[in-house]
């Protein structure tokens, strides 16, 4: 693996890729791969990456596409939120 990484870094340097861009791209792919492995569960991914969940969440914000996180599942609404919305809709239709 070390030789593969060294070859990749050499190629990036030769192509003139900036250090900042290389680090950002590495971070993106690393985080998204771990998110895929954890089925988009930020808490599990944060544990695996040994980051605080909030830190991971802030870093992931960079990698949104079409208003959702690449590699992450959508969080389902909680049951009580769904029930509250149904009650509000029923009250609105009566009044």
Q: What does the pLDDT look like over 38-87, one tens digit per residue?
A: 998 999 999 999 999 999 998 888 776 655 555 444 444 555 555 666 66
The residue-averaged pLDDT of 7-11 equals: 93
Helix axes 19-37, 42-49, angle to 10 degrees: 120
Q: Please work out, in degrees rounded to the nearest 5, the angle formed at the alpha carbon of residue 40 by the alpha carbons of 38 and 41.
A: 70
Extract long-range pairs of 65-71: CB within 8 Å, 24+ residues apart. 69/35, 69/40, 70/32, 71/32, 71/33, 71/35, 71/36, 71/40
pLDDT-derived band at 25, boundaries 50, 70, 90: confident
Which pair of structure tokens corresponds to residue 63?
A: 């990698």
Distance CA 31, CA 10 (A): 23
pLDDT at position 70? 52
């Amino acid at each position: 693996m070390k030789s593969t990484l060294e070859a990749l870094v050499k190629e990036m340097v030769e192509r003139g890729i900036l250090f900042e861009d290389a680090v950002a791209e590495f971070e993106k792919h690393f985080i998204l791969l771990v998110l895929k492995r954890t089925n988009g569960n930020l808490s599990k991914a944060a544990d695996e990456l040994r980051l605080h969940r909030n830190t991971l969440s802030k870093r992931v914000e960079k990698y949104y596409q079409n208003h959702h996180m690449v590699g992450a599942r959508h969080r389902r609404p909680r049951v009580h939120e769904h029930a509250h919305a149904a009650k509000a809709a029923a009250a609105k239709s009566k009044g």
